[in-house]
Structure formats: C-alpha cells, structure tokens
Homo-oligomer: A and B are copies of this chain.
C-alpha cells in the first residue's frame, strides 16, 4: 500500500481487518498477519513473536529476497525457534515491555546510548543486509501485549532499503492492534476447542470404570481416526467432527449389564447378542441431534463394528454402504486394540499387527482406509508414543475390573 494516499491506506486497513477476523485458525492467521504487515509498509521481511509465559516466542519469519534466493524451507532453517525475555536486551523485548513502536532507520548505526547492538551474525551467514526495522507491539482486548510484529527493510521504488516513515509507524501500529485482538480470539477458540475435547475424553474415558480399556485407548483411537479422515482428503470440518465424535463410539457399553461386560470367560450366544447391542444403545443415546458432532457420533456408535465383507454387526452392512466414519473407526479401533496391552492380554508385536491389517483388507476393513493408515505410519507411531499407557493405568484398570467382577462373585455366592 506504500505510495497510496492516507485515506486509501486506512480504507485498506479496514478491509484487512475484516479478512483477519474471518480466519479462525491460529497458524493461518499468523502467516496472514506477517504477510499483510509487510505489504502495508512495503517491507522485504517480517517476523512475528507471541507472548507465552512472560517470554516472547519466535513464530514466523518471512524474507522475500532470501526466500527467492534459497527457497522458503531452507531459509527457515537459518532462524531458530528462539525464545527471548521481555526486557531491554532486544528490540522485540523492549517493544513488548514498553508497549511502544521502535523505528530504526539503520540497524548498523544505532545510537551510542542504545542498550544493545544489532547482531550481525545472521546477515553474515545469509549474505543479507538488514537496514531499517520497525517493531510494534500487538495488543489484546485489554491493552495487554500478546506479541510483537517486526518488519525489515522498507524498499524504495528501485528495491533499495530505506527507512520506514512516520505513516508506516502509525499504520503498522493500528494494524498490530487489529492483529492482537484477532490472535487473542483465535487463541481463545483454540482453548475452547481443547476444553471441549478434554471434557469429551474424560467423559468417554469414564467407560474405563466399566470396561477393560484405558482412557488412553480412546485418545489414541480418536487420533488415528482423525489421521485417516485427513489422509482421505476430507474437509477440515469433517476431520474435526470425526475427531470430536470418535471418543463416543463405545458409549453404549454403559447399557450392558456387569455380568456380561465383566464375564471372565467366553460369552454364550445370548450374552454375545446383549454385548453387541452396545452399538444400538449408543446410537439411541446420541440419535436425533441437530448438532453435527453428536449426529456423527451416533453414526459412529451404530456402525463401528460393521465389516467390509458384510459379516459385522448390528446391520450386517457391507462395502460403501457402511458410512465412512464407521469404516474409519473400525480400522482405528481394531488397530489400537491389537497394538496395545490390555489387562487381559499383551500387546501384539508391530509386525504381527501390520500383517493382520493387511490380511483383513477387503474382509474386515475398507482396503483404501488401511492403505491410507499404513501410509502415515510415522504419525501413528508418534501418537502411540504420546498416549502410552503407564503401569499405573493398568493397575487402576485391573483393580476396577476385579472390583466389579468380584461383586458379581459376591452376588453369585
């Protein structure tokens, strides 16, 4: 926008504000903020820090010249994900501390009484020449600092670095105030989403008090389901819905009597029928909602035991007549059941589990979904590592299980 009359720049700022507030994903938003900040002031580079635990955390850096010369990926390697204190030992730190913009015409000619020098190390390593720098704080709704925005090298019409002008300072400050509130909104959204998911995991995990599964099973299974949904190219919203609905797939087990749920030996045919009714009970608990996640959960509850070849239950659906979410849950649920230890069985070795999944392509499982899952196996291993069952989890699970089956024994006696 450099070169436009002030009122057009301001009108531009209003438009940009609307665009910012339309983005609800934090990462996407941060990218947009740096990009727009550079555009507004005709800068060649930009960096964004966020406040976290009274520190400034480096998030994004852009530099058009370096990206062109070495590619964006390689360029990023030069910038460590560093964390700096909110203090007068750095430009960004000072700015976060004072809440005031800092406009430096030449980084290599800082006044003698300046509390710190520009570190030429990065310029030396990249061959770039940093000249002018404008740093502004981003404020939240109550004026608190949520981050710092820093742009580098205003370019004149010949592409030569010049100083930022007072108009740039005013515009970037106004933009930073918009950016600050939009970041705060996105962070709040993220917190709410996390809160929601945590509540779901807890409530669904309550099933571990009746079932021999740990709440980590539900977490892992939900992550696997999300992974497959994303890998199959579903929309962001669909992926999120499956992720949020997955923890509820076994909620119907709440309606299964203890004597069947906790029976140590194999079930009789009648008992198996009752056990299998957990799909219908779950669907009934969740059915008829106009909230997409709850509807999704009811479909999942109903169909996660169907099999691709039609030998599953309760409806004996086959192939693509099984809703996609049910087919996804089948892979995720069985994979986790086999690959993790339960209090009544050891975990299968990884190669045996993979062999089983592959063998069941077109029998139990939708072949495409198995391929999609196996194609992202690094991520699967990461999920396993993050949500590992501890020795304590087992003790808890075993104690509960014996508590409940003992009651059964008491009663029989």
Contact = CB atoms under 8 A, between A and B. Distances in A.
Given A141-B22, A286-B202, A411-B259, A194 B254 contact: no
A90 interface: no
A17 interface: yes
Contacts of A181: 18, 21-22
Contacts of A1: none
B21 A182 contact: yes
Interface stretch (A66-74, A289-297, A313-321, A375-383): A289-297
In this complex, the member of A141, A194, A274 whose beta carbon has the largest number of chain B beta carbons within 10 angstroms is: A141
A232 interface: no
A196 B293 CA distance: 9
Interface of A is mostly: helix
Contact of A206 (B178, B192, B254): B254
Interface in A191-250: 192, 194-196, 198-200, 202-207, 209-210, 244, 248
A307 to B, nearest CB: 26
Interface string A154-194: 00000000000000000000100110011001001000101
A160 B31 CA distance: 49
Nearest to A180: B18
Nearest to A139: B18
Interface string A250-283: 0110110111100000000000001000000100
Contacts of A196: 192, 196, 199
A199 B254 contact: no
Given A17-B17, A195-B292, A404 B257 contact: yes
Contacts of A10: 7, 10-11, 13-14
Contacts of A281: 209
Nearest to A178: B18
A166 to B, nearest CB: 14
Contact of A192 (B192, B200, B411): B192
Nearest to A196: B196
Interface in A1-52: 6-7, 10-11, 13-15, 17-18, 21-22, 24
A334 interface: no
Nearest to A277: B403
Interface of A: 6-7, 10-11, 13-15, 17-18, 21-22, 24, 141, 174, 177-178, 181-182, 185, 188, 192, 194-196, 198-200, 202-207, 209-210, 244, 248, 251-252, 254-255, 257-260, 274, 281, 285-286, 289, 291-294, 297, 400, 404, 407-408, 411-412
